[in-house]
């Protein structure tokens, strides 16, 4: 089982977009992945509810909800047929919570937008992962995704120069595309849409999917059954 954490304490970086499209991709490949929604906004959960019965199946857990009719352990259990767990984390995650949150993650994807505010937030997030969560660079568990980029802009060039300084791999550069909006509104992922419409976007995803695939043979030992510890 591979656990993928999509993390950036700054809101609006595109965590849900990446998490839902990852879950959709794994489902389209024949897996029955688990999408764990730990964000109180519930965006991943709403996306799941839009999906039709005939679409590839995705297990869903609204981890931000507390159901008094069942134990927390039962609510957060991972189905036996789920080969991938994708965790959509909440905004405003504190550095103090990162060690517990990341310890069982096989891959930590950090999306960042091309803006001065987002670049600063990403810098702090990476520093917290390295210094407080103690995620070592040589583990190759952290991958940065440059999100909603327009390659012919000055801020994009600034973003890429900044990312080079981190010494953390940039595993994908996703263009600013309306296809993500259309997919979210319909409960689809890009890999379920008409190929001729989304071909340039699918090409953007190939480096990240290859990075995750390469890590499947080096999955860290499972530490308990919860995709994440309880969130407030």
Per-residue pLDDT for 223 more than 50? no
**CA–CA gap between residue 11 and residue 230 (Å, rounded):** 19
Does the residue 221 lie in any domain? no
Q: What is the mean pLDDT of residues 113-119?
A: 94
Does the residue 202 lie in any domain? yes
Nearest Cα to Cα of residue 106 among 22, 12, 20: 22
4 to 98, 143, 146: CA distances (angstroms): 14, 11, 17
Sign of the dihedral defined by the CA atoms of residues 180, 185, 189, 190, in that order: negative
Give the pLDDT of residue 123. 95
Nearest Cα to Cα of residue 4 among 114, 67, 77, 82: 82
Does the residue 58 lie in any domain? yes
Range of lowest pLDDT (32-41, 48-57, 58-67, 195-204): 58-67
Residue in the block written with tokens 């803006």? 115
Give the pLDDT of residue 5. 97
Give the pLDDT of residue 232. 44
Give the pLDDT of residue 225. 38
Banded pLDDT at 64 (limits 50, 70, 90):
confident
Both tokens of 138, joined, read 């040589």
Does the residue 192 lie in any domain? yes
Global pTM reads 0.90
Does the residue 55 lie in any domain? yes
Q: What is the mean pLDDT of residues 133-161?
A: 95
CATH code, domain with 30? 3.40.50.300
- List residues bridging with 84 in a β-sheet: 2
Q: What is the mean pLDDT of residues 49-78?
A: 83
Sign of the dihedral defined by the CA atoms of residues 47, 52, 56, 60, in that order: positive
CA 26 to chain centre: 13
Which residue segment(s) compose the domain that 121 sits in?
2-216
Give the pLDDT of residue 195. 95
Q: Are 191 and 21 in contact (CB under 8 A)?
A: yes
**CA–CA gap between residue 218 and residue 145 (Å, rounded):** 21
- List residues bridging with 85 in a β-sheet: 3, 34
Does the residue 47 lie in any domain? yes
Compute the chain's Rg from CA coordinates: 17
Which of 217 and 94 is assigned the larger pLDDT?
94
Domain count for the chain: 1
Q: Are 124 and 92 in contact (CB under 8 A)?
A: no
Give the pLDDT of residue 173. 96
Nearest Cα to Cα of residue 150 among 171, 113, 188, 176: 176
Does the residue 225 lie in any domain? no
- Segment 150-206, tens digit of pLDDT: 988 999 999 999 999 999 999 999 999 999 999 999 999 999 999 999 999 999 999
Q: Are 26 and 108 in contact (CB under 8 A)?
A: no
* Average pLDDT, rounded, for the chain: 91
Does the residue 226 lie in any domain? no
Per-residue pLDDT for 230 more than 90? no
10 to 25, 135, 215: CA distances (angstroms): 25, 19, 26
3-state helix, strand, coil in the chain (%, to 5): 45, 15, 40
Q: What is the mean pLDDT of residues 134-143?
A: 96
Strand, coil or helix: what is 174?
strand
Residues in the chain: 232
Over pLDDT 70: what percentage of the chain? 89
Per-residue pLDDT for 113 more than 60? yes
């Amino acid at each position: 089982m591979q656990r993928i954490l999509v993390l950036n304490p700054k809101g609006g970086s595109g965590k849900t977009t990446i998490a839902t499209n990852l879950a959709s991709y794994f489902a389209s490949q024949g897996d029955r992945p688990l999408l764990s929604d730990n964000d109180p906004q519930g965006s991943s959960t709403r996306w799941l509810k839009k999906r039709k019965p005939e679409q590839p199946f995705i297990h869903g857990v609204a981890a931000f909800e507390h159901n008094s009719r069942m134990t927390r352990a039962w609510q957060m259990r991972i189905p036996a047929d789920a080969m991938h767990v994708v965790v959509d984390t909440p905004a405003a995650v504190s550095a103090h919570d990162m060690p517990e949150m990341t310890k069982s993650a096989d891959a930590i994807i950090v999306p960042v937008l091309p803006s001065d505010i987002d670049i600063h937030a990403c810098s702090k997030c990476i520093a917290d992962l390295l210094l407080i969560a103690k995620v070592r660079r040589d583990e190759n568990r952290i991958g940065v995704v440059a999100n909603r980029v327009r390659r012919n802009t000055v801020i994009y060039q600034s973003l890429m120069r900044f990312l080079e300084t981190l010494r953390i791999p940039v595993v994908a550069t996703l263009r600013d595309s309306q296809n993500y909006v259309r997919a979210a509104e319909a409960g689809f992922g890009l890999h379920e849409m008409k190929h001729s419409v989304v071909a340039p976007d699918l090409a953007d995803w190939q480096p990240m999917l290859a990075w995750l695939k390469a890590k499947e043979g080096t999955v860290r030992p499972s530490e308990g059954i919860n995709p994440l510890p309880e969130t407030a």
